[in-house]
Amino acid sequence: MGLVAAAYEPSSRALLARVPRGGTVVDLGCGPGHSTLLLADACRPTALHGLDASAAHLERARRMVPRATFTRHDVTERPLPGPAADVLYARLVLAHLPDPLAVVAGWRAQLAPGGTLVVEDLEAIVAPAGALREYDALSAEVVGTGGGPMYAGAALAPLGGELAEIRVTGAEAARIYRVNVAAWLAEGRRTSVDLAALGADLDRIAAGAPSGPVTWIVRQLTLGDIDVTGYQ
């Protein structure tokens, strides 16, 4: 997660620069705290909260960002804990949740008047042929088994927003992808590809085998609050 956070940070920081500083900021699906740390620096909130369903992630987040308050909570369940937020932020969260448009509408209904929801989720991935592209297809398959769309950004297209490109070297992508492949192997996950062989191919790319770059295309949205009257 640290490798992913480092790759995303310049683009995310530029997006957050458009959001007013101060106020109450909530990091939805904060994970181990990398995005929360970015919010602390980029938004300079008066109050900073992180929400995540994983107790292990929250323990790490508390160590990473001691000034923030962290609560274990399913971010699809309303109401969200704590006061209404001036800024709600979610990066790469919707891929793991069914019906991204409905989830976004629910989040917007939780904003303080005049508040802003900031969302970043994958729209597409451009990768060279071979192990990197094979991994992307497999990852979409695995995410789909959990009920969410890996390319949730595409589902959010009716809401507008902008597309940002995050380019990493093949070696950087391979190092990130290899972590997930190792986790799938450890849990004995059955997939449509040979995980051990894919892992070996990614190891070779991570070690310097020739490979083109990978581009993550991300939909970035800043959305205002909505009237909750009549919201289902």
3-state secondary structure string, the chain? CHHHHHHHHHHHHHHHCCCCCCCEEEEECCCCCHHHHHHHHHHCCCEEEEEECCHHHHHHHHHHCCCCEEEECCCCCCCCCCCCEEEEEEECCHHHCCCHHHHHHHHHCCEEEEEEEEEEEEEEEECCCCHHHHHHHHHHHHHHHCCCCCCHHHHCHHHCCEEEEEEECHHHHHHHHHHHHHHHHHCCCCCCCCHHHHHHHHHHHHCCCCCCCEEEEEEEEEEECCCCCCCC
How do residues 150-183 score in pLDDT, each as one tens digit?
999 999 999 999 999 999 999 999 999 999 999 9
Domain count, the chain: 1
pLDDT value at position 228?
Answer: 43
The mean pLDDT value for 93-102 works out to 94
- Domain around 193: 2-224
pLDDT given at position 227: 52
231 within domain boundaries = no
Residue 232 has pLDDT above 50, yes or no: no
CATH number at residue 49: 3.40.50.150
Evaluate whether residue 170 is within a structural domain.
Answer: yes
Residue 229: what pLDDT?
39
* Residue 82, pLDDT score: 87
- pLDDT score at 146: 84
111 pLDDT band, cuts 50/70/90, is: very high
* Predicted TM-score of the model (pTM): 0.94
225 vs 33, more confident? 33
**pLDDT for the residue 94:** 96
Residue 232 covered by a domain: no
Which of 41-45, 72-76, 143-147, 223-227 is predicted least confidently? 223-227
Q: Is 16 within a domain?
A: yes
